Amino acid sequence: MTSAAQPPGLPELSDDAVRRFAQIREDFTRMMLGYRFGMEQVATRLEILREEFAELHLDNPIEHISTRVKSPESILEKAARQGVELEIPALREHITDIAGVRVICSFVADVYRLMTALTEQADISVRLVKDYIANPKPNGYRSLHVILEIPVFLSSGPVQVPVEVQFRTVAMDFWASTEHKIFYKYEGDVPAHLRQRITDAAATAARMDEEMAQLHRAVHGTD
């Protein structure tokens, strides 16, 4: 028997195939919802810290928070590029930046202080830390990446959702967004003389972070 609502011009699908596709779609939707809720929970925890700092310490370490969930197209593209099986458990295991939160701080010290305040929360566990501030990438990229897991309670039960949080300063963010635009303009093949200038600009941004921290210490006597 075949499905009644068969679009014209397509090969006929068995009821079993239609059921399997419907199940895949439902599982994928559930997975993506979990990522969105996990991301929103992390963003809320950071907003709470921001408000608490602002109220009690009169010194807000967070300039800006942004969030994004990777599109299904880029999840599949990344899975194909990395040879990850197109199955939900494999995607969950290997594609760890489906849910992303970016936190822009004023100073480098705030980046670490905030990361500690977030990851010390009892129900959050840290899967991986990539400290590109202590160890910048060869092109000069600096940022602190943390892949953490946060529980999300769906009607089907709790799921541990991985969320990639990128903590960086305003200067690091300015550099990264400019570099990203140049990278895409040249489709990844950036001419050597520009690559060198990009790396030099990263060093300038790092000096700027250091200078601002010194100024802040001079004025407030602390980071």
Q: Is 67 exposed, middle or buried (0-12, 13-18, 19+ CB in 10 A)?
A: middle
Q: Is 50 or 145 the residue whose CB approaches ligand 0O2 more closely? A: 145
Q: In the chain, which ranges are E strands?
A: 62-69, 99-105, 125-131, 144-154, 157-169
Q: Is 141 or 167 the residue whose CB approaches ligand 0O2 more closely? A: 141
Tokens standing for 166? 């990128």
Q: Is 36 or 130 the residue whose CB approaches ligand 0O2 more closely? A: 130
Positions marked catalytic: 164
Q: How far is the CB of 218 from ligand 0O2 (least distance, A)?
A: 31
Q: Is 99 or 152 the residue whose CB approaches ligand 0O2 more closely? A: 99
* Interacting residues toward ligand 0O2 by CB under 6 A: 97, 100, 130, 137, 139, 141, 145, 176, 179-180
Sheet harboring 62-69: ordered strands across?
Answer: 62-69, 99-105, 157-169, 144-154, 125-131
Instruction: Write down the residue that tokens 């199955």 correspond to.
Output: 87
Which H helix or E strand runs over 72?
Answer: helix 72-81
Q: How far is the CB of 69 from ligand 0O2 (least distance, A)?
A: 10
Q: Pairing mode, if any, of strands 99-105 and 144-154?
A: unpaired
Q: Is 181 or 207 the residue whose CB approaches ligand 0O2 more closely? A: 181
Tokens standing for 159? 């799921």
Q: How far is the CB of 137 from ligand 0O2 (least distance, A)?
A: 5
Q: How far is the CB of 82 from ligand 0O2 (least distance, A)?
A: 7
Q: How far is the CB of 27 from ligand 0O2 (least distance, A)?
A: 23
Contacts 24+ apart (CB under 8 A), 54-59: 59/220
Phi, psi dihedrals of residue 128, rounded to the nearest 5°:
-160, 140
